[in-house]
Structure 1
Amino acid sequence: MQFDEPKVIEALSQEWGWILPEIRTVMAVSTMGNVFLADSQQSYWRICPEELSAAIVARTPSELESVFADPESKADWQMWGLVSELLALYGEPEVGECFGLVIPALLGGDYAAGNIRRRCLYEYLGFTGDLAQQTKDLKDGETIKLEIV
């Protein structure tokens, strides 16, 4: 997927900066808006906006190669079954766009076409980073009232 790296770094730094160290480079962005990046401390992260999560996936280049080579990780990253359905419904995302869940999976949203739209990647990363910070301390099964202003 094509993206503007400085804009991805800016969105992640502003709204995911509460969990991410300084970003060195964005390595890849999936059609679903997931981001692989390298930080300034030589760790490799995956930002999964629909799950409202950011996690270190590797600490060395060889560990990262293993992640990229793992068929299960690759299938989770690419989501080809779902993405092909979305491409047929909504068309190919433009540069700086992705497919994104309307209601994040962490909040009960389904990985289904009815809950997914073509979105501005940078706004989606910003929105989900802010929401991730606000929900980071929720306990499993806890009830919330979500107000979007």
Structure 2
Amino acid sequence: MQLISSVEREWKWTGIRPSQVVEDNAFGNLIVKDEDGRYWRLCPEDLYCNVIANDRNGLDALSKTQDFLEGWHMSSLVAEAKELLGPLKPGYRYCFKIPCVLGGEYGGKNLATITLVELIETSGHIARQIQNLPDGSQVRLQITE
């Protein structure tokens, strides 16, 4: 329930009204069913949350495509993360210290682990702040406690 609350709180600006997390992967990507029966993909590393299917049949069809499966499983990146950081502890996912859309390296020293809830909340917070910036904009990350 905390995960649904986190999606609602930090990603509602996208229009999502989550009712169920259907699936997640090792990098904290979520497939979320909304109150209208649509399916969304929340992608923390690329800072987006978009409708990917209008109903279960659409999701099932999408889930059989090679492009979706490759992007969802992230096999080579998961293998690299596991080699560098070890296996995931319960409730944790791999992540990028600096999201790739903000110039973070896609792997290597930019890999870390974080709780799934923290990943969803942090990525939603950042995504909301940069949503209207044109590509190539300069950003400055400021960490506050």
- Tell me if the contact between 1:36 and 1:46 (Cα under 8 Å) persists in the aligned partners: yes
Structure 1 residue 20 displacement after superposition? 3.7
Partners of 1:78 and 1:102 lie apart in 2 by 20
Partners of 1:144 and 1:22 lie apart in 2 by 29
Aligned to 1:83: 78
1:100 lines up with 2:95 in the alignment: yes
Structure 1 residue 103 displacement after superposition? 0.4
Secondary structure of 1:106 counterpart: helix
Decide which of 133, 143, 146 is 2:141's aligned counterpart. Answer: 146
1:21 lines up with 2:23 in the alignment: no
Secondary structure of 2:68 counterpart: helix
Secondary structure of 2:52 counterpart: strand
- Tell me if the contact between 1:96 and 1:120 (Cα under 8 Å) persists in the aligned partners: yes
Decide which of 122, 137, 143 is 2:132's aligned counterpart. Answer: 137
Partners of 2:10 and 2:42 lie apart in 1 by 12
Runs of 4+ aligned residues of structure 1 deviating over 3 Å after TM superposition are none
CA RMSD of aligned residues (A): 1.1
Decide which of 20, 26, 31 is 1:36's aligned counterpart. Answer: 31
Q: 1:113-132 counterparts in 2 under 5 A?
A: 113-132=108-127
* TM-score (norm: length of structure 2): 0.94
Aligned to 1:3: none
- Tell me if the contact between 1:13 and 1:20 (Cα under 8 Å) persists in the aligned partners: no
- Tell me if the contact between 2:19 and 2:33 (Cα under 8 Å) persists in the aligned partners: yes
- Tell me if the contact between 1:16 and 1:129 (Cα under 8 Å) persists in the aligned partners: yes
Structure 1 residue 7 displacement after superposition? 2.1
Partners of 1:119 and 1:141 lie apart in 2 by 27
Secondary structure of 1:119 counterpart: strand
Structure 2 residue identity aligned to 1:91: G
- Tell me if the contact between 1:31 and 1:99 (Cα under 8 Å) persists in the aligned partners: yes
Gaps of 5+ in 1: 1-5
Structure 1 residue 24 displacement after superposition? 1.4
* TM-score (norm: length of structure 1): 0.92
Per-residue deviation, residues 95-121 of structure 1 (Å, max 9, x unmatched)? 211001110011011211211101111
